Structure 1
Amino acid sequence: MARSGVRFEDVQRAIDELMAAGQAPSVQRIRETLGTGSFTTISEHLREWRKRREENRDVPPPRGMPAPLQELAESLWQQAQDAANEALAHYRREADDKVAEAQQAVAAAERRAEDAEQRESALSSHLTRSEERLNEQTAELGRLQADHDTLQAEATRQREVRGRLEARLDELQGELERQAQAHRQAQEELETAHQARLGQEEQRHEAAEARLMGLVDEARQERQAAEKAHAARHERLEKRLEAAKTEQQALQDALKEEEKKRRSEEQARRDAEAARVSLDEERTRLGARLEDAQAALTSRQARVEALEQQLEARLWSSLEKMQASQDRLEAAAENASGPDDAGPEEDTQAGH
């Protein structure tokens, strides 16, 4: 509730002074004009004044004045109303156009953002599939690597077998040499006495040597076959490994390209979001301009009302002056007709 310090009449008088000076009434200006009063009290009185002004906005000028003045006042009132309505309609059309443009821009930005989100979703799906393929290729590469390790182990085992065979061959050759040495020694010792037995021993030795050479040839053939098989399997594994590495590199390149596209889409979405924020700010500025235009229109209407009040005061002053002049003329006419009416009576009395 308003305090009793500042009354509504005081606020109304301050508003009239501000409007007469061409200023729009506000709480701060009214308080500066009055030099006192709280903002709450002045604000309540200002709202009451605006409410009353809105209720009496379309009330025409009071009648009871001469017809020419009445017509002039009504004409001025209608011109002021037309100018105010035209200005308000212009500002409203301009504001509506700006708001429509802003809404269209926001809709376009939202569509671009939705397109960017859809492209991002598609890219994410494609990226997921690429990662799955990369994982599969990695698993296949792991299996190939395991096979390669197995073949390496098999080759190592073959080399160990070959080493053992060669060691066995060396042992056999050493044994052969020892047997030959023993045979030569026995032959030297028993050459005379055991010539027949020496022949048998030589035959046995030749047979053993033939068997030994056969074993050596078989071992060499097995080793060569194992080496060829190992080389072939190693070559196949190398080719498969190289192909897997090539495909992995291609997948990594594709993944990098998809990541680059996703970043580009993310940047486009951020740009669209920035554009939408800018459009919201533009809409806010347009709303502020519309409010300023309405405030200016209110100020103009206030000035028109002040001019109407001044015109009405001047008209009433002119009417009062005209009425006073008419009264003076009537009084002068009465004074002028008074002596003429008294003349005959005086002549009659003089005759008597």
Structure 2
Amino acid sequence: MASGVPEHEVWAAADAVLARGERPTVERVRTELGRGSPARVGQLLEQWWEQLAQRLKGHALLPELPGEVAQAFTEAWRLALAHADTTAQAALAEEHNRLFAEQTTLTQERKLWEIALAEAKADLTESANKLAQAELQGAERQGLIDRLAAEVADVRQQRDHLQAQLEHRQTELNALRAEHATVQAHIRTVEDRTHQQVDLARQEVKALSQQQERVHREHTKRVNELTAQRDALQTAVRAAEQTAAHQAGQIAALEATINQWRRTQTTGTKRVSHKTPSPATSKVRERQKKATR
């Protein structure tokens, strides 16, 4: 409410209340005005009562009154003034208490706002420090990511190079295996031919045995020729077996090189199991042992 209400409006409102036959009080005058603080209205209402007393003494409203009536009216006026003063003082005390309560509330709210502002500043400082720390960590992590990306690219390049070497070695291994298969086929062909020739020689020996008495010399010559031929064939077989053994050694060495290269590509925690020799290599080694015997 506005506190600067003019005094003439307060006096007019008091006159209106009095004209209705009611005693002007602070609340009634404020209700009549529709505004004004209790302190301001109470102060002006006291002035109105003083002015009303002067008006009554000067016979402004009642110019002529009997002495007893005037004395009674004066006493009533005095009581009204005393009551108005009491009412005004109560209103002033109430307004003062209300203002003090509002001031206390505002002081408490101000302290709360100051505490909240200090906490907000502390939070802001902490957030700024955390942000700076996060940015520093982000920069460090970005550097780590860049280094890891470079290492990954280098590892991929090495992997591609090793993959190409592995494919080349695999091609060589396939070629050696094909050559080994060809040699094995040739050895089997020679063996089959030798067996056939031995069988033929046996048949001829049997036939010659039946003619031993008649052609002893021819039989002996023939046996010698067959024996020489057999030795030659056995020599050829041994040479072929040695060639196959040499090729099998080359294949085993190449397989060992490939296995060694594969072991260098692993993490170092797994062991590569030893490969068993291929059936063809075992067969060649067995034949070498028999030939040595």
TM-score by length of 1: 0.40
Larger helix fraction of residues: 1
Q: Which has the larger radius of gyration?
A: 2
